Amino acid sequence: FALCAMLEGGYEIYMVADASGGTSADAHKYAMDRMVQAGVVPVTWQQVLLEWQRDWARKETYDAVVGIAKEHSGAYGMGIDYAYTMVHGAPERVSHGETIGPRAAT
């Protein structure tokens, strides 16, 4: 078990749980449980991406990270879109169908 050897060697290990798998959902769960019991810290791919970005002031990677998050991060990506359009006045990325205006009650 390579992880145990690395832990014994003093390494701090982070496992990207949602970017790995097993032969079944149970196999994945039990493997993750075993690693956590051994001292491995489970993280998600999104945590890794955002920790690598570290700070939104890092302009050299900003657009690429935002693009990945918008496409693959569900509600978080939608929130980025919303914030970007509201704060920066950018055009909306998605188009909406025809809207119905207010109507007087009859």
3-state secondary structure 17-45: HHHCCCCCHHHHHHHHHHHHHHCCEEECH
**Would you give the DSSP letter of residue 28?**
H
Which sign does the torsion angle of CA 46, 48, 54, 59 carry?
negative
The whole-angstrom distance between residue 97's C-alpha and the CA centroid of its chain comes to 29
Asked whether the whole model's pTM tops 0.85, one would answer: no
Please report which confidence band the pLDDT of residue 80 belongs to, taking 50, 70 and 90 as the band edges. confident
Q: DSSP state, 56?
A: T
Cβ–Cβ under 8 Å, residues 23 and 60: no
- What pLDDT band is residue 93 in, cutting at 50, 70 and 90? low
The domains of the chain are located at 2-43, 45-88
So what's the pLDDT on residue 4?
A: 83
What rounded mean pLDDT belongs to the chain?
Answer: 86
Band of the pLDDT at 58, cuts 50, 70, 90? confident
Band of pLDDT at residue 94, cut at 50, 70 and 90? low
Over 80: is that where the pLDDT of 88 sits? no
pLDDT at 23: 94
